[in-house]
Amino acid sequence: MESSALITIGLPSALAIIMFGLGLTLTVGDFRRITQSPRAVVIALALQLLFLPAMAFGLIMLFDLDPLLAIGMMLLAASPGGTTANLYSHLFRGDVALNITLTAINAVLAAVTVPVITDFAIGYFGAEGEVGLQLSKVIQVIAIVLAPVVIGMITRHFFPALATRADRPVRIFSVGVLVLVSIGALIAERDNIADYARQVGLVTAIFCLCSLTLGYAAARLLRLARPPAIAVSMEVGIHNTAVAMTIALSVLNSSEAAIPAAVYSVLMYVIAALFGYAITRNSSATDGSDARPVTASNQHTL
């Protein structure tokens, strides 16, 4: 894929704004809340950091994906949960406060886990000649993923009114960027789109459904109540695909590696909605009595 100012400068800048917006929704208290739900946090992080990459790797081997698509799948698995998970958790009576805590932790961890897992995939699938993740690019990933989040948190702390006013416009901008990047990645590979859809369409759908199911089932098996189980499920199953696509396009300079995240960004909304409906359709109005109340201060929607 040919480099351009839009890809090398515009796209990372757009992601930085998205991550800044994420930081505007977070406070230090969101990290402190770990002590209130340690079991739920441990379950979610174990799934995201260990099981999701392992599951993506297994699907890659099962479906024998091309090297760049395989790297894209591993990059997708490494990408953190997005703020959309908070919205879906709210819609299906999940523990939104837990989602916010998990989002805060993942935003920090992603600065390390995304480069590590991506570098492993590049080496394992033998694509060093086509893409690479040298030290300078690792620093670039950290800069566009973590630094804006920290700046956003600082802005919220010192200028809460500004953070409140900026929150909705930044969220709208985030959705717009995600749509444009997804379309752009698909257009860039339009000559191969039918083949890619055949290769990664089913893989990404299975990955999404298994992620949601694994998150919910693991939480329930470990005796978490329904609301935190829903929160864990949505956090594990709904990814910040803008991170994966931006790194694929602007850091790895590969539109093919962005295809899995682009396809996933479309499928996850539908699959997550159907999954949320499936696990809540038989619950009574009183089933959520063990949920933490969702207050105006912890509702975060697009």
Residue 203 C-beta-side C-alpha neighbours within 13 Å: 30
The pLDDT tens digits for 111-131 are 888 888 988 998 898 765 555
Residue 167 has pLDDT above 70, yes or no: yes
Bridge partners of 81, per DSSP, are 239
Q: What is the pLDDT of residues 70-112, one digit of tens each?
A: 999 999 999 988 778 888 898 898 998 898 899 889 888 888 8
Given this model, what pLDDT does residue 220 score?
95
Report the C-alpha gap between 104 and 204 in whole angstroms. 25
Contact 20, 148 (CB under 8 A): yes
Reported as a single tens digit per residue, the pLDDT across 39-59 is 999 999 999 999 999 999 999
Distance CA 226, CA 57 (A): 29
Report whether 171 contacts 290 (CB < 8 A): no
Strand stretches in 109-187, DSSP E: none
Q: What does the alpha-carbon distance between residue 228 and residue 44 come to, in Å, rounded to a whole number? A: 10
Confidence at residue 289, expressed as pLDDT on a 0 to 100 scale = 43
Question: Is domain 5-279 classified as CATH 1.20.1530.20?
Answer: yes
| pLDDT of res. 142 | 76
- The 10 Å CB-count burial string (b at 16+, else e) for 28-60 is eebeebbeebeebbebbbebbbebbbebbbebb
Q: Are 282 and 156 in contact (CB under 8 A)?
A: no
pLDDT in tens, 208-245: 999 999 999 999 999 999 999 999 999 999 998 888 98
Domain ranges of the chain: 5-279
pLDDT value at position 189?
63
CA distances from 201 to 100, 194, 198, 266, 268 (A): 29, 10, 6, 10, 11
